[in-house]
Amino acid sequence: MTVERTARERILDAAMDRIASDGIDAVRIARIAMDARVSTALVHYHFATREALLAEALEHSFETAGDVREEAGDDPVARLKGMIEQCLPLPGELERDWVLWVELWLRAVRHPELRPTAAKLYASMRTWFIAAIEEGGFGDVDAGAIADRTLALIDGFGVRALLGDPEVPLERARAEVWHALAGDLGLRDRVPSV
Amino acid sequence: MSPRPTTGHVRRPAILKAAAEVIAERGVIGTRIADVAERAGTSAPGVLYWFDTKDELLTEALRFSDEQFYAQLHRELEQLDGPRERLARIVELWPAEGDGEVVLWMELWVRALRDPAVNAARAALDARWRAAIAEVVRDGQAAGEFSAVDPEEFALTLGALMDGFAIQLALRDPGVTPAQVRAHCLALVEERLGLEGVGR
């Protein structure tokens, strides 16, 4: 059982890397199997379809990132800023996750069986932001509406930053999302100067 | 260049309209040139006469549907009285454009991840959209109706917010409705431009 779980995790890690580099449509299952040092048959055994592989890989990545998410400091503002940081396509694993995230959007529109995965991931993020807002003692604010808006801005700015939009470097995405959130929370924030 | 095929009378706009429809339905990967040709009432060579690759078809189809969108937007905005009504109309038009358009944008984002030419086309289309919003903001500021915010920054933020919500709508997220999305976008307009009661 332990051995099997390890193989499964190796497949998911390999899938994240390969899907990010080749795309969900072009990725070859045999290549993922090779990277994970398992047989192609074992990949098919664990994941019947490409959609299942993408969904599980994203959920796996989200769960493994959970340790970072729990590192909440005492300062509510620093905590929220850190959360925005964790949600943007920073170079490295977050950038890789973001590529899969963009692949998921399109794939889930075309394959409704992926929509529950997308909805689940969005719901987790929403709960996470609502908790930080409510626990932050920002007074009488609509935490749900603020979380919705923050997540929409993160996606809108994040996809532009990921694609290297000349007007949206990462630091601008970060500053703009925080600027909006600070306004929602009734905090004074200087206008981002980028 | 091969001689003009006999089906060359099927003009570029008809092919682009067909391409936008077929790609929105099936995706770039699932679309064959022959499918687009059939929808446009021509042959595959008739399509390939104008476009070399499917990525080119995608970017040109989006550019084409963007032209139509801006022509419609221009007509609609001209009929409205002032900048605040125009901005409210922009917010209404965007998510109301339908799933097909949002899906084409998603196709573009995914292709842009790995193709610099598609990415450059995406950046240009996005810049045009932001410029259209910024122009209305400048009009409002000139008329003394809007606060003195940076029009480009406002346009970027509104565009990002609309896209973020459009994604959730396209995914049929049970927690997000078109009415909520519109309310969020209008709230941003009101709060940043110092207005009240926009779109009501």
Nearest CA in chain B to A106: B106
CB-based contact B175 A119, cutoff 8 Å: yes
Measured between CA atoms, the residue of chain A closest to residue B130 is A167
How much is the mean pLDDT over chain A?
89
**Is the sign of the CA dihedral B109, B111, B114, B120 positive or negative?**
negative
pLDDT in tens, B142-154: 999 999 999 999 9
Full 3-state SS string of B133-189: HHHHHHHHHHCCCCCCCCHHHHHHHHHHHHHHHHHHHHCCCCCCCHHHHHHHHHHHH
The phi and psi torsions of B123 (rounded to 5 degrees) equal: -60, -40
- Asked if the Cβ–Cβ distance from B157 to A168 is below 8 Å, we say no
Closest B-chain CA to A111: B171
Query: Max Cα separation, chain A?
Result: 57
Best residue in B110, B119, B147 to probe A by mutation, most A CBs within 10 Å? B110
* Distance between B167 CA and the closest CA of chain A, angstroms: 7
Task: Give the model's pLDDT for residue A194.
Answer: 43
Report the residue of chain A nearest B171, measured CA to CA: A109
**What is the ipTM score, two decimals?**
0.89
What is the mean pLDDT of the segment spanning B60-83? 89
Distance of CA B156 to the CA centre of its chain: 14
Across the interface, whether the CB atoms of B171 and A119 are under 8 A apart is answered: yes
Q: Distance from A2 to chain B by nearest Cα, in Å?
A: 36
Separation CA A153–CA A96 (nearest Å): 19
Nearest chain B Cα distance for residue A178, angstroms:
12
**Structure-block tokens of residue A35:** 């990277």
Residues on chain A touching B173 (C-beta within 8 angstroms): 118-119, 122
Of B64 and A72, the structure prediction assigns the larger pLDDT to: B64
User: Mean of the pLDDT values across residues B71-93?
Assistant: 90
Is residue A63 predicted with pLDDT exceeding 90? Answer: no
In angstroms, rounded to a whole number, what is the distance separating the alpha carbons of residues A84 and A105?
A: 20
Nearest CA of chain B to the CA of A120: how many Å? 9
Domains of chain B with CATH codes = 7-52 (1.10.10.60), 54-193 (1.10.357.10)
pLDDT above 50 (res A193): no
Q: Is B17 helix (H, G, I), strand (E, B) or coil?
A: helix
Q: Tell me the per-residue pLDDT of B11-31, one tens digit each, with 9 for 90 and over.
A: 888 999 999 999 888 888 889
Nearest CA in chain B to A179: B157
Angle value at C-alpha B88, between B87 and B91, nearest 5 degrees: 90
The residue type found at B110 is V
Distance CA B158, CA B198 (A): 15
- Rounded Cα gap, residues B89 and B79, in angstroms: 11
Q: Is the pLDDT of residue B137 over 50?
A: yes
Distance CA(B155)–CA(B25), nearest Å, equals 30
Contact A155 B164 (CB under 8 A): yes
**Candidate from B171, B188, B191 with C-beta closest to A118:** B171
CA–CA distance, B151 with B165 (Å, rounded to integer): 21
**Measured between alpha carbons, how far is A14 from A20 in angstroms, rounded to an integer?**
10
pLDDT at B32: 93
Q: Where are the alpha helices (DSSP H) in A23-114?
A: 29-36, 40-46, 50-64, 66-69, 76-87, 93-110
| CA A169/CA A171 separation, integer angstroms | 6
**Closest among B185, B168, B107 to A125, alpha carbons compared:** B168
Where are chain A's structural domains?
A: 2-53, 65-184
Q: CATH fold of A65-184, please?
A: Tetracycline Repressor; domain 2 (1.10.357)
Torsion region of A23: left, alpha or beta (phi above 0 gives left; psi -120 to 50 gives alpha): left
Distance from C-alpha of B126 to C-alpha of B132, rounded to nearest angstrom = 10
| pLDDT for the residue B95 | 58
What would the mean pLDDT of A4-19 be, rounded to a whole number?
88
C-alpha B63, offset from chain centre? 8
What CA–CA distances, in Å, run from A140 to A104, A163, A185, B181, B191?
Answer: 35, 37, 9, 22, 18
Q: Which of A99, A119, A162 sits opposite B173 (nearest CB)?
A: A119
Does the pLDDT of residue B37 top 60, yes or no? yes
What φ, ψ does residue A31 adopt, rounded to 5°? -70, -40
Of A108, A160, A166, the CB nearest to B160: A160
Cβ-Cβ contacts under 8 Å, A123 against chain B: 175
Superfamily of chain region A2-53: Homeodomain-like (1.10.10.60)
Copy the structure tokens of residue A57.
């890989």
Cβ-Cβ contacts under 8 Å, A164 against chain B: 119
| Distance of alpha carbon B117 from alpha carbon B29, whole angstroms | 17
Q: Which of A80-84, B32-36, B51-55, B155-159 has the lowest mean pLDDT?
A: B51-55
